[in-house]
Amino acid sequence: MEKQIILYNLAEGMTDEKYKEYVLDDKGPLIESLSTVNKYELWKIVHAKSGIIPYNYVGIMEVSSVDQFGLKDVPTAKFQGFEKKWLPMVSDVHILSGIKIY
C-alpha cells in the first residue's frame, strides 16, 4: 500500500465547524468510495511542540497505488466534481506521496 498525504489550511471565510460538516457529509464518504482508496483519515492539528503549525489539516489516503489513483480516480467526473467544490474551501495545499519503510 502507498499513502498520499495532503497538508492544507482552510480558505479565508471557511470555519472549522462548517468544514467538519462538509467532510462528514460529503468529502469523507466520497473519497472512501473511490476505487483505489482503501482508507481515508482527516486530522486537525491542534498542537505543535515548536508552537508553529504550518498546516492545520492533514488528510491521509491509503491507496492501492498512487499511480493508479492518478490514472483511475482523478480523471473521473466524481473526483473532478469533488475538486471543484473542495479547492475553494482550502489554501496552501501541499500533496506528498510515500511508501511504508517500517
Q: Convert the pLDDT of each residue in 59-94 to its tens digit.
A: 999 999 999 999 999 999 999 999 999 999 999 999
Is 28 domain-assigned? Answer: yes
Is 4 domain-assigned? Answer: no
What's the whole-number mean pLDDT along residues 22-37? 98
What's the whole-number mean pLDDT along residues 27-34? 98
Is 25 domain-assigned? Answer: yes
Q: How far is CA 72 from CA 29, 34, 65, 69, 84, in A?
A: 18, 9, 10, 5, 18
Confidence class for position 22, pLDDT limits 50, 70, 90? very high
pLDDT of residue 1: 84
Is 41 domain-assigned? Answer: yes
Is 57 domain-assigned? Answer: yes
Looking at the structure of the chain, the number of domains it has is: 1
User: Contact at 8 Å (CB) between 84 and 48?
Assistant: no
Reduced to 3 states, what is the DSSP secondary structure of residue 37?
strand
Is 50 domain-assigned? Answer: yes
Whole-model pTM: value is: 0.92
What's the whole-number mean pLDDT along residues 91-102? 96
Is 52 domain-assigned? Answer: yes
Domain range for residue 48? Answer: 10-99
Is 59 domain-assigned? Answer: yes
What's the whole-number mean pLDDT along residues 29-48? 97
Return the CATH number at 51: 3.30.70.100
